Amino acid sequence: MAEREKTTADVVPPLLERHWTSLAERRFPIGSPRRHSTPLCFLVVAVKQATVEITTDAISRRPASPRASVIQPQNKKSWPMAFRRALKRTVVVGAGAVATVFGLSHLIEYRKTQARLAHVAAEAELQVPCADELPSRQAQLTALKTTEEFDVLVVGGGATGAGCALDAVTRNLKTALVERSDFSSGTSSRSTKLIHGGVRYLQKAIMQLDYEQYMMVKEALHERANLLEIAPHLSAPLPIMLPVYKWWQLPYYWAGIKMYDLVAGIQCLKSSYVLSKTKALELFPMLKKDKLVGAIVYYDGQHNDARMNLAIALTAARHGAAIANYTEVVHLLKTKDPQTGKEKVCGAHCRDVITGQEFDVKAKCVINATGPFTDSLRKMDNQETSNICQPSAGVHIVIPGYYSPDNMGLLDPATSDGRVIFFLPWEKMTIAGTTDTPTNVTAHPIPGEDDINFILREVRNYLSPDVEVRRGDVLAAWSGIRPLVTDPNSKDTQSICRNHIVSISDSGLVTIAGGKWTTYRSMAEETLDAAIKAHGLSAEPCKTVGLMLEGAKGWTPTLYIRLVQDYGLENEVAQHLASTYGGKAYDVAKMAEVTGQRWPIVGKRLVSEFPYIESEVLYAIKEYACTAIDVLARRTRLGFLNVQAADEALPRIVQIMGKELDWSQERKTAELEAAKKFLYHEMGYRSRSEQLTRTSEINLDYQEVVRYKKRFHKFDKESKGFITTVDVQRVLDSINVHIDENALHEILNEVDLNKNGQIEIDEFLQ
């Protein structure tokens, strides 16, 4: 009996040690930097496995004879002693486990703190001063015209181009950037709004044993952590649910998502977890219940892409870069190298698109960061060069926010044609996409009806049959062009590069193409490293890791409360300003006009349903907005959220900008027409109108239908298929009837059955 006591009690420490060691060695080989920082999950697994083996071992050691297990009276005193020893060892092991977990958690926090301190130190080392006031666009153009020679000229104002400008100027290089349209007017403002490493890329890396894909995911996850830190007002972690409808998929997807967490390491936003069917439906009530097994939730980042792009560009401007939107490159400047006799790129001949004035910008190095238009600039350099860009169109749609929870997205990992669809909350709406279709390069991509319907079909597959997503629910739609590229240095010219490429032509033109939004910073760093080496520039090391972007300083999660208290803004408006402008929200609030009401005191809305206020239009001009489209689509995101609301706000936006910029009546009219054309074609207004003009089933006799249709078309002068407050107000004004705008909105909201801000023909008849 004494021998049995000893065996059962003393087996605990060796088993724990053996299992701890085996698990640690399997995950972290000897020499691994994280060998001594095993996460809590592995500690729990170790303890659980040890417990199982202890139980199994103890059972295997039981005497074969039932009589041997009977406690004899003379051995009663030994049991309390054995119990005390077992209890003591359990306490020791438990205390050790708790201490280990506590220590590991503090180690992780310590490492994160050290990373933040390193970022702060890197920012403090910057030799480039940061201006308190942004230079005006005119001042920036003057700098471009009068500077004798820049070290670097970046062509392209998207995320990558702005990132290159910021990287260059913080290395103490004299930097210029030109963009032929507005900052983020192309692909960078038309993304899925995610800051992610790419779960599907990791899946390919594992299934195909592709090290390049693995490193691409690892780099993206590192950049994700940095981007969330340097612009906390514009970005945040977002839980994304992956619903599972087959039992065998649960361990498969769980293993893949856990690997995603593992690759992120200490930069993992939050650990993924499994949900039961009941819990999944509780968190996502709209989910299809039939055959649902459960769900897996993982975390990625989400951001306001156009505002993030602008923040990068404005940060570069504050550090001394001369940046100008609506400034296009007409042709490249070249000079002959006296040593080799070869022509070298030495700048660009540019044109101010707004005034038509042309001028030269000379630079030691020119960087081509024009996204889908990469080949256009490469052919300016050399007409004989072959194309490397293989453009692909990705369409997204926006539907009302009630189709998804406020704080959780949805991932469809395998659509009917093998693509991936995201279904995400964004700006209190729901965004769904994307598609992947070969296309031609254009500055004005248009979302196709087939792509819109494809997304709607895929969304319906994952939502409950009770939730009917209709075509009329699509409030906006857009198409963005992905600049997929082939490596010009590769022997296989037909293979698409899954990452980005940096190439340097014989004349010295540096091209950065491809890549992802999330990795813009590391792409810029690699590009500048290559440019500095190729052109022999004298520069400091990269300092953009941890460099806070425009608005990040002064932002706190409770900033909006101060805005409400200090300025008398509505709570919703204050939250919007804080999450859009960060610490600069105070400047926007100071520019807001008094409403003349008891509450809110300041902050007149552009449209009643959205928190955008009139002072944002004035502040947008300070942020280099030159057209009404800039304000609708990129300074505010109204055009991307609801094209009808954007159309309603348009006249007031033009009025405010016209007064501030002293526009003529002709210019105001041109701005209205251009913005309406943009909304009609590029933001899905046209396809929406065509869809809504189709006759719905109506339970009225023929004469009634004809009579009411005539009345409807008196309001719908433009044959859009729906009417809005603007249409009603126009008719009322024509008969000298005046109704308060808020009252009119309330009246129409009662008729607006699907709550999309528009009265459609079937709603009107009902």
Q: With cut-offs at 50, 70 and 90, classify the pLDDT of residue 391.
A: very high
Contacts of 606 (CB under 8 A, 6+ apart): 612, 613, 614, 616, 617, 636, 638, 649, 652, 653
Q: Under DSSP, is residue 484 helix (H, G, I), strand (E, B) or coil?
A: strand
> What architecture is domain 559-688?
Orthogonal Bundle (1.10)
HSE-CB for 665 with a 13 A CA cutoff = 0
Please say whether the beta carbons of 413 and 420 come within 8 A: yes
Q: H-helix or E-strand containing 643?
A: helix 643-661
Please say whether the beta carbons of 254 and 274 come within 8 A: yes
Q: What is the pLDDT of residue 20?
A: 42
Q: Under DSSP, is residue 683 helix (H, G, I), strand (E, B) or coil?
A: coil
| Average pLDDT rounded to a whole number, residues 595-606 | 95
CA distance 440 to 449: 17
Token digits for 673? 């027409």
Contacts of 228 (CB under 8 A, 6+ apart): 195, 235, 236, 237, 269, 301
> For residue 610, how many other CB atoms are within 10 A of its CB?
24
Residue 273: beta bridge partners? 297
Is residue 600 reached through a cis peptide bond, with omega within 30 degrees of 0 on the bond before it?
yes
* Least confident interval from 411-425, 559-573, 589-603: 411-425
| Average pLDDT rounded to a whole number, residues 433-459 | 93
Which pLDDT tens digit goes with each residue over 406-426?
899 999 887 777 778 999 999
Q: What is the pLDDT of residue 40?
A: 38
CA distance 159 to 633: 16
Q: What is the pLDDT of residue 744?
A: 73
Which amino acid, residue 121? A
CA distance 139 to 144: 9
Contacts of 191 (CB under 8 A, 6+ apart): 305, 480, 517
Which amino acid, residue 706? V
pTM: 0.78
CA distance 548 to 319: 12
Q: What is the pLDDT of residue 396?
A: 97
Which pLDDT tens digit goes with each residue over 210-244?
888 899 999 999 999 999 999 999 999 999 999 99
Assess whether pLDDT exceeds 70 at residue 87: no
CA distance 671 to 682: 16
DSSP one-letter code for 134: P
| Average pLDDT rounded to a whole number, residues 524-529 | 98
Contacts of 314 (CB under 8 A, 6+ apart): 134, 550, 623
Least Cα distance to 226 among 514, 554, 634, 520 occurs for 520
Find the radius of gyration of the CA atoms of the chain: 31
190: left (phi over 0), alpha (psi -120 to 50) or beta: alpha
> For residue 19, how many other CB atoms are within 10 A of its CB?
20
CA distance 366 to 380: 12
| Average pLDDT rounded to a whole number, residues 25-40 | 42
| Average pLDDT rounded to a whole number, residues 579-593 | 97
Q: Which fold has domain 236-301+391-483?
A: D-Amino Acid Oxidase; Chain A, domain 2 (3.30.9)
CA distance 731 to 710: 14
CA distance 709 to 265: 62
Contacts of 13 (CB under 8 A, 6+ apart): 89, 93
* Least confident interval from 231-235, 512-516, 679-683, 715-719: 715-719
Question: In this structure, are strands 429-433 and 389-400 parallel, antiparallel, or unpaired?
Answer: antiparallel
Which pLDDT tens digit goes with each residue over 140-177?
999 999 999 999 999 999 999 999 999 999 999 999 99
Q: Where are the domains of the chain?
A: 2-122, 151-189+312-387+490-535, 236-301+391-483, 559-688, 696-765
CA distance 482 to 504: 22
Which pLDDT tens digit goes with each residue over 312-333?
999 999 999 999 999 999 999 9
Q: With cut-offs at 50, 70 and 90, classify the pLDDT of residue 41.
A: very low
CA distance 705 to 710: 9
Q: With cut-offs at 50, 70 and 90, classify the pLDDT of residue 709.
A: confident
Tell me the pLDDT of the chain averaged across its residues: 84
> What architecture is domain 696-765?
Orthogonal Bundle (1.10)
Which pLDDT tens digit goes with each residue over 96-140?
555 554 554 454 555 555 555 555 555 556 666 787 899 999 999
Please tell me which of 10-14, 48-52, 55-59, 222-226 the model is most confident about, judged by mean pLDDT. Answer: 222-226
CA distance 436 to 553: 38
Is residue 434 reached through a cis peptide bond, with omega within 30 degrees of 0 on the bond before it?
yes
Q: Which CATH number fits domain 151-189+312-387+490-535: 3.20.20.80, 3.40.190.10, 3.30.413.10, 3.50.50.60?
A: 3.50.50.60
Please say whether the beta carbons of 393 and 372 come within 8 A: no
| Average pLDDT rounded to a whole number, residues 537-556 | 96
Q: H-helix or E-strand containing 3?
A: helix 2-10
Question: In this structure, are strands 429-433 and 421-426 parallel, antiparallel, or unpaired?
Answer: antiparallel
